[in-house]
Chain A
Amino acid sequence: MSRKLFSQKIYNIKEEVLLLGNMVEEAVNKSVQSLKNRDVKLARKIYQHDIELNDKRFSIENAILIVIATQQPMARDLRQLASMLDIISELERMGDYAKGIAKVTIKLEKIELEIPIIQIEKMAELAVEMLHKALTAFINEDVHTASQIPFEDDAIDQLYEEIYRHAVQLMMSDPKLADYSNLIMWVGHNLERLADRVTNICERAVFIATGELLELEVDDEDDELEVNE
């Protein structure tokens, strides 16, 4: 039995989730661009963009609740809908990270500071790529790819480490720069957390396909040292 209308509704929601994913990718790319070019105007646009992103998340959530309430989803359909509730909340938080980077651009507006932009750009590029792959794996219910993506996190952690050291060096060279250096750390931290959240999306992709809730998080000693979460 096809349940044409029901399948169509789920399909539409999946499309919206992908769209939300695209919005997040764009927000991250633009936030890093704003930092690179010290473009405060662009940074402010990201704030506006984040409002749209949050609205989109709520409208998807509402659509999912309506389908659950009216269509009695079971098995894979139910796992998909429940997972999408989780995924959109992850995406929304990722949007907040992009907004956080835009905020740093604004705070550093008139500050002379050497920003490790090459590492930041690379980190953002990798994180966005991971996100993109994770959403593709989610749509295709590709368990194999979804389980592999979290391992790509290592390169990101490495870059975060470099950014961290750069910021510490800045602080040591001139303690007056401490606050601003801290902001640089925040940029790295946001991108690192963003990549971690991609892992949660991968876990959902596996759950939809197999019904198993697995922790795909790669053990990372550094995670335990985090004080900001």
Chain B
Amino acid sequence: MNIQISVKNFNFYYGKFQALRDINFNIPKRYITAIIGPSGCGKSTFLRSFNRMNDLISSVTMSGEINVDGENILTLDPVTLRKKIGMVFQRPNPFPKSIYENVAFGPRAHGLKRKDHLDEIVEKCLKDSYLWDEVKDNLHSSGLSLSSGQQQRLCIARALAVEPEIILMDEPASALDPIATLKIEELMQDLKQKYTIVIVTHNMQQAARASDYTAFFNMLPDRAGYLVEHAETQNLFTNPKEKLTEDYISGRFG
């Protein structure tokens, strides 16, 4: 198995508060890895560390390594990094621009100007995000005119447009109805042919349904998040090694 992201002795602090302690694990390339755990266990903080989203918070300090393809991203330029690692958020957040412009935004920002090339990218990404058939006749309508499920797929198309290798998803379906949720999950299955996906979800069933690997995080008594267990999803949900995992997935705590 190819490792895409390797996390070593990773610690994360908001000021004096330690949010994550001694995290070690590997994320395989072109698989879906889900991170689950009770609220406040640091799973979103962890995910946001992968593309240095936490840099914007002044009191944050980190130690250890997050290696993406062997390169420690904690010391990498965030702009270069974010071309490689795309992100989809909990609430769909299209730009207040047309559907076309939402997708073309990234490639344009990276210097692409030729219209035929941009057209091609927009069509391909909208197809890859299962949205093309629904919007191909309205590419110049506002992205905000779409339903929330469609908006979320537009955000995925926007993330794909800069040809990342990794897509981070932070609760990508929690604001969607069950059908739109299943659509996103099916889409993820296709996307993993080309991308590594890391998804944080509150919804354990979603992790079970949609991921190949699952990492379970919990909090220590001082509220620092730590990794309890990381295993193939089918094993973690049928025969977890840790009692704590078993209690969490069977709804006995959290």
Contact = CB atoms under 8 A, between A and B. Distances in A.
Interface residues of A, number: 13
What is the interface of chain B mostly: helix, strand, loop, or mixed? Answer: helix
A3 interface: yes
B209 interface: yes
B186 A3 contact: yes
Contacts of B208: 69-72
B186 A5 contact: yes
Nearest to B180: A1
Interface stretch (B64-72, B87-95, B132-140, B230-238): B230-238
A72 B209 contact: yes
Contacts of B183: 1
A4 B188 CA distance: 12
Contacts of A62: 238
Contacts of B238: 62, 65-66, 69-70
Interface in A38-64: 62
Contacts of B237: 66, 69-70
A71 B209 contact: yes
B205 interface: yes
A65 B238 CA distance: 7
Interface in B202-254: 205, 208-209, 233-234, 237-238
A2 interface: yes
Contacts of A4: 186, 189
Nearest to A3: B182
B247 to A, nearest CB: 15
Nearest to B211: A70
B233 A70 contact: yes
A72 B234 contact: no
Contacts of A70: 208-209, 233-234, 237-238
B179 interface: yes
Contacts of A5: 186, 189
A20 B183 CA distance: 34
A96 B24 CA distance: 48
B231 to A, nearest CB: 12
A66 B208 CA distance: 9
A71 B233 CA distance: 11
Given A71-B208, A71-B209, A72-B209, A66 B186 contact: no
Nearest to A66: B234
Interface in A70-100: 70-72
B193 to A, nearest CB: 13
A201 to B, nearest CB: 26
Nearest to B189: A5
Given A71-B208, A71-B209, A2 B234 contact: no
A180 B69 CA distance: 71
A212 B102 CA distance: 52
Contacts of A1: 179, 182-183
Given A69-B208, A70-B208, A2 B233 contact: no
B216 to A, nearest CB: 14
A65 B189 CA distance: 21
Contacts of B179: 1
B71 to A, nearest CB: 33
Of the candidates A62, A65, A69, A71, the one having the most CB atoms from chain B within 10 angstroms of its own CB is A69
Nearest to B190: A4
B239 to A, nearest CB: 9
A3 B184 CA distance: 11
A3 B205 CA distance: 14
A85 to B, nearest CB: 14
Interface in B119-137: none
Residue among A4, A5, A70, A71 facing the most chain B CB atoms (10 A cut-off): A70
B205 A72 contact: yes
Given A1-B183, A71-B208, 8 more contacts: A2-B186, A3-B186, A4-B186, A5-B186, A6-B209, A69-B234, A70-B209, A70-B234
Interface of B: 179, 182-183, 186, 189, 205, 208-209, 233-234, 237-238
27 contacts: A1-B179, A1-B183, A2-B186, A3-B182, A3-B186, A4-B186, A4-B189, A5-B186, A5-B189, A6-B209, A62-B238, A65-B238, A66-B234, A66-B237, A66-B238, A69-B208, A69-B234, A69-B237, A69-B238, A70-B209, A70-B233, A70-B234, A70-B238, A71-B208, A71-B209, A72-B208, A72-B209
Interface of A: 1-6, 62, 65-66, 69-72
